A and B are shown apart, each in its own frame.
Chain A
Amino acid sequence: MSILWCGGEDVDFTAPSIITVTNGGFRTGFARCSISCSTRNAKSLPFASGPVTSAWLTWYSFFNANDTNLRFIGLVNSATANSGIWFGPGTQSNKAAIFKYDGTTLTLLAQEGGTSLGPIIATIGLTKFDLQIINFGSSSIVNLFIGGALVISYSGSTAISGISNLDCVGLGAGSGVNNTAMSEIIVADESTLGFQGLVTMAPNGNGASQQWSNPGYTNVNPTTVNDANSTYTNATGQDEQLTTNNMPTGIFQIKAVKVVARAAATSGATATGLKLGFNNTNNSVAAEGSAHTLGSGFSPVEEYFATDPTNGGAAFGANLNGYQIELRSA
């Protein structure tokens, strides 16, 4: 039982057209923005553990739009133009719906009989959504939960020509900015109904090691990506560590941690790889994942930790307060 993917900012997607909203529409303390993609072609990186035919997708979002028949968020196939299973408003803006999309045609699989997305014009406060897909293909079940309540249960074919599985998150949008903001997105191979959400650990100070050039934390913590400004190094084995914000107040446990960077390497450089990790509260142990070879164009690089590598692989506790996230050149 594991986390297949998580994210909630533009850094987590490959398309450059992410709309980032910071003036509401997300849970303060958990996230610092919400996102959407008006071209509906944003993709996450493929799941590191491989493609799936069954999975859960959870996210928070709100709606304030009169949209119908649009793709907001879904599980898709990375080799296609976001073909896959999507959530969005159905034939009425206030009716939640599930669709399949083959890159050209949007097909309504089912929509709710009720009006969970709001009265008359879709208006719903910040709400947790959970989408369960079982056996993507000719004989499937797709369930949609809104605020923990099952509102759609579709049984039948979800088959899409040319694909046999799903391996990343597709991000779409409504008709206007700030209408369909998504945040705290998680994909898992177990029920996400009991997941409380996704805490963004944004850099908020310089850490114990500052071996890269242009090292100040403000150079890598923008809410909206700015590839014109980076921290950088051309020597291997160099550490760059940053403190992050504390976890929000609450009773929960940490199931997994992801560290993500938007990174590139200049052609012909000495340092062309990147390891991602963190160090523990007293900076006595730093641990990273394996080295990722970088391309010349900026793109996401991710590392997932199901257990705490700074503590012998023990389970994460209730918070990571005091930990620092780390870049190491390779």
Chain B
Amino acid sequence: MSTGTGVNVSKFLGYAVVIDTSPRQAEPNKADVNEIPQEAGSNTAEKSREVSSD
């Protein structure tokens, strides 16, 4: 176990975000941040109400 004067780094790593190579992903505007993709139908049943605080 060791630390020292100056800059200390205790954990260090990288990440790579990997995405499909399909045409859909080559055209990101096909489903941008404000577009709702047409996937399986919604089955939302119950709506807003307070529940017990966690």
Binding site for B on A (CB under 8 A): 1, 3, 6-11, 40, 54-56, 69-71, 88, 90-91, 99, 104-114, 132, 134-135, 141, 143, 145, 148-154, 156-157, 172, 186, 188-191, 193-203, 212-214, 219-222, 225-235, 240, 242, 244, 247, 250-266, 269-274, 278, 294, 298, 316, 320, 325, 327, 329
B26 → chain A closest CB, angstroms: 9
B48 adjacent to A108 (CB under 8 Å):
yes
B2 near A251 (CB under 8 angstroms)?
A: no
List which B1-42 residues lie within 8 A (CB) of chain A: 1-22, 24-25, 28-37, 39-42
Contact: B17 with A254, CB < 8 Å? Answer: yes
Q: Is the interface of B mostly helix, strand, loop or mixed?
A: mixed
Asked if A260 meets B33 with Cβ closer than 8 Å, knowing A190-B28, A230-B4, A271-B7, the reply is no
Query: Contacts of B54 on A, CB cut-off 8 Å?
Result: 40, 69-71, 88, 106, 172
Most buried by A among B18, B28, B32: B18
What's the least CB distance linking A279 to chain B, in Å?
12
* A-B pairs with beta carbons under 8 A, tally: 285
User: Contact: B31 with A91, CB < 8 Å?
Assistant: no
Interface residues on B, range: 35 or more
Contact B2–A229 (Cβ < 8 Å): yes
Q: How far is the CA of A165 from the CA of B49 in the complex (A)?
A: 22
Q: Which listed residue, A88, A203, A235, touches B13 by the CB 8 Å rule?
A: A203
A253 to B30, CA, bound (A): 18
19 residue pairs from A and B, CB less than 8 Å apart: A69-B54, A91-B46, A104-B53, A107-B51, A108-B50, A111-B45, A114-B43, A150-B41, A152-B44, A154-B47, A220-B11, A230-B3, A230-B4, A252-B19, A256-B17, A265-B6, A266-B5, A273-B7, A298-B8
